[in-house]
Chains A and B, each alone.
Chain A
Amino acid sequence: MNDPSKMKHDCSNQKECLQLLQAILDGEATQAQKEHFMKEHLDSCMPCYQNYHLEVAIRDLLKKKCTREAPQELIESIKKQIQQNLRA
């Protein structure tokens, strides 16, 4: 657990940090970037710590709320058309 009283409340690189943080969550950052940011920066910087958790929460919510399954009859209809194509 972080001690909030020891964290800084302003980040001088917030824009760059947000970009880096997103790259990390997207699996697009290098191991060195990841280690530096996650181990050294995140625990000491409140805005980045909050941003990190916000980004994670948004992704979770997107995955939970923004997917839908194809209607079964549509799947059947596509399969059928392909089978007809194969026989033709």
Chain B
Amino acid sequence: MEEEIIKNNYTDAQKSRIFDQEFMPHINAMYNFAYRLTLDRDDAKDLLQDTYLKAYRFIDSFQEGTNAKAWLFRILKNSFINDYRKKSKEPAKVDYQEVETYYNSEDVDRQITPDLRVESLSNMIGDEISNALNALDVDFRTVIILCDLEGFKYEEMAKILDIPIGTVRSRLHRARNLLKEKLSEYAKSMGYKTA
């Protein structure tokens, strides 16, 4: 973190209270994030456990009254990159710059799926959206989770992901276009089935 880290010296009772009252309430959101990153139940469990133990170990650098959820999400994201991304089953990491440049090209915007309609979404009562989300590259998946599922602000996302706010905005925009593309593929295949 670039900001100055103030170290507290919490007593055991304070640590216990912070852990229970500030950290534990986010455990379901954190588990969901871990699962969506690893796409594996066992890895998600390990990642969640590691993250909470780390949070406890570094509890003295948590400032009470600041956003505990963002603090926890940042630890989880870093643990994922350092410990899990390497061994995950995902294909070799796609070059960031390449992806960003590609999706910044005009091409993607031109294909803004005009055929996806609200009505076709209402037919997606199964795992279509979940599969569509999981099929996105992890960096795109992440911004959708943070923003649309967890309601983080762009500024908080920038801190969690260590990227500039402008990148948050553009990555989110690309991610949503890609998600819509996937969804319209599903919509099309559902249409063929019922036809």
Contacts and interface: CB of A to CB of B under 8 A. Distances in A.
Contact of A75 (B27, B118, B147): B27
Contact of B121 (A57, A74, A81): A57
Given A14-B112, A26-B147, A67-B28, A58 B183 contact: yes
A62 B45 contact: no
A62 B149 contact: yes
Contact of A82 (B52, B109, B118, B173): B52
Interface string A10-46: 0000110011001100111000000000000000000
Nearest to B147: A26
A72 to B, nearest CB: 10
B30 A66 contact: no
A66 B153 contact: no
Contacts of B129: 58, 61-62, 65-66
Q: Chain B interface: which size bin?
A: 35 or more
Contact of B133 (A22, A23, A66, A68): A66
B176 A22 contact: yes
A3 to B, nearest CB: 19
A2 interface: no
A77 B112 contact: no
A6 interface: no
B107 to A, nearest CB: 13
B31 A69 contact: yes
Nearest to B121: A57
Contacts of A67: 28-29, 32, 149
A59 B148 contact: yes
A82 B28 contact: no
A63 B130 CA distance: 10
Interface in B1-59: 12, 15-16, 19, 24, 27-32, 35-36, 45, 48-49, 52-53, 56
Nearest to B119: A57
Contacts of A79: 24
B121 A54 contact: yes
Interface in B122-165: 122, 124, 127, 129-130, 133, 144-145, 147-149, 153-154
Interface of B: 12, 15-16, 19, 24, 27-32, 35-36, 45, 48-49, 52-53, 56, 109, 112, 116-118, 121-122, 124, 127, 129-130, 133, 144-145, 147-149, 153-154, 169, 172-173, 176, 179-180, 183
Interface of A: 14-15, 18-19, 22-23, 26-28, 50, 53-55, 57-59, 61-63, 65-71, 74-75, 77-79, 81-82, 85-86
6 contacts: A58-B129, A58-B179, A69-B31, A74-B45, A77-B49, A78-B27
